[in-house]
Structure 1
């Protein structure tokens, strides 16, 4: 299915991405870099994705999510800005990931940035976030896709 993107942000270039990578001390997966260069955030249609959980009994019935908005580089709206959201979530999500999009209900879509999970897409469930005293781990995180392109290709709407 073809994805349509709405309300994308102003165009960026590879220098903008490199600057943000340095600020965050992350290397963005190549497929995600291409997406940022083409769209730089926005609202996708369709937007629904499936979530796979690993032994989390609380996740029963929590098998779908919906992308509300992809974060953008240098957005004038703080809540949509990739740097702002990354700093806000620091210590709350595993340091081998970074936030790339809002999902409905305050949940977040993450992308892997370490060698062992580079490009993998995950769903972070806000309702089951670890306590402040605990180190962020994958206990409230479900698997969505092996890479960004697969994630985008698998998005669907309620009609399907």
Structure 2
């Protein structure tokens, strides 16, 4: 997948500083992606499928989405701050991309088994007024997520 409109070239030091500011540690595969591209828009439209969680335990359905663009370092920081401050996502989830409808693609950076997993955050759904967006697991890793992306069907 070729990306266009990529951000300014990052160094390992830049990424280390981001991790320090966020108090989060990025998986190596995501660091490599940022070093190579620092975000960007897919040159050709790409999409992926996953099972979306509804607002109750029994609501699960097949869903598809696209990648409008991957965030660069500045967009990551800004989106993270806004979404966490508004309590729409937990603070161990990092927004790394969005789809055409401004739904978020998140990278889980919390300790434990979910570290490095990719989630879809539906911007139009909330579990309750006191909680954030409903999150649906998409892939076990960033590399697995990239492997799911396919050319969009017309």
Taking structure 1 as the reference length, what is the TM-score of the superposition? 0.83
In the TM superposition, 1:3-152 aligns within 5 A as 3-44=1-42, 45-54=44-53, 55=57, 57=59, 60=61, 63-74=63-74, 81-90=75-84, 91-116=87-112, 117-131=114-128, 134-136=130-132, 140-152=134-146
Aligned with 1:142: secondary structure?
strand
Once residues 106 and 131 of structure 1 are traced to their aligned partners in structure 2, the CA distance between those partners, rounded to angstroms, is 20
Q: Please identify which structure carries the higher strand content.
A: 2
Structure 1 residue ranges, 4+ long, deviating more than 4 angstroms after superposition: none
**Structure 2 spans left out of the alignment, 5+ residues:** none
Aligned with 2:26: secondary structure?
coil
Q: Give the CA deviation at 1:8.
A: 0.8
Taking structure 2 as the reference length, what is the TM-score of the superposition? 0.86
Once residues 90 and 50 of structure 2 are traced to their aligned partners in structure 1, the CA distance between those partners, rounded to angstroms, is 18
| RMSD of Structure 2 on Structure 1 (CA) | 2.0
Moved more, 45-54 or 93-102: 45-54
Once residues 135 and 142 of structure 1 are traced to their aligned partners in structure 2, the CA distance between those partners, rounded to angstroms, is 15
Once residues 61 and 138 of structure 2 are traced to their aligned partners in structure 1, the CA distance between those partners, rounded to angstroms, is 15
Aligned with 1:126: secondary structure?
strand
Q: Give the CA deviation at 1:46.
A: 4.5
Moved more, 102-111 or 139-148: 139-148
**Structure 1 spans left out of the alignment, 5+ residues:** 75-80
Relative to structure 1, the CA distance from residue 34 to residue 66 in structure 2 (aligned partners, 3 Å threshold; closer, same or farther) is: same
Q: Give the CA deviation at 1:115.
A: 2.4
> How many residue pairs end up in the alignment?
147
